[in-house]
Amino acid sequence: MRYKTTKIKQHPSGNKTLTTTLYPRIKVRSTDTFLIVTEKTRLDHLAFKFYENPNYWWVIGVANSIKGTLYVEPGTQVRIPREISGIIQDFNKINKR
């Protein structure tokens, strides 16, 4: 699921590799929601709760500079961007989708 939209590049030798996925910068807005995580949770669970789509886990990850994990530890303040249509458009534009 995590690499569902990542493109595959085929080299002349026949080998295949995943291409790099680029993410847009996500500015803080007055419409953002801030919360303190009270129990260990995952970004895809938060994305489902707020966006009704777990595939948007990366929006929360990028907005909070969370890298290398889907888990958020208790006590962490998390920013949830609420207006994501522009973020998704920027993502598609820079990744030419």
Mean pLDDT within 58-85: 96
Using DSSP, state whether 43 is helix, strand or coil.
helix
In the chain, where are the structural domains located? 26-87
Which amino acid is it at 44? D
Give the separation between CA 59 and CA 44, rounded to whole angstroms. 10
Name the pTM for this structure. Answer: 0.82
Q: Does domain 26-87 have CATH number 3.10.350?
A: yes
pLDDT > 90 in the chain, percent: 74
Cα distances (angstroms) measured from residue 59 to each of 17, 26, 97: 24, 8, 17
What are the tens digits of pLDDT across the range 7-30? 677 778 888 887 788 999 999 999
Task: List phi, psi (to 5°) of 10.
Answer: -100, 125
The two structure tokens encoding residue 79? 């920013």
pLDDT > 70 in the chain, percent: 92
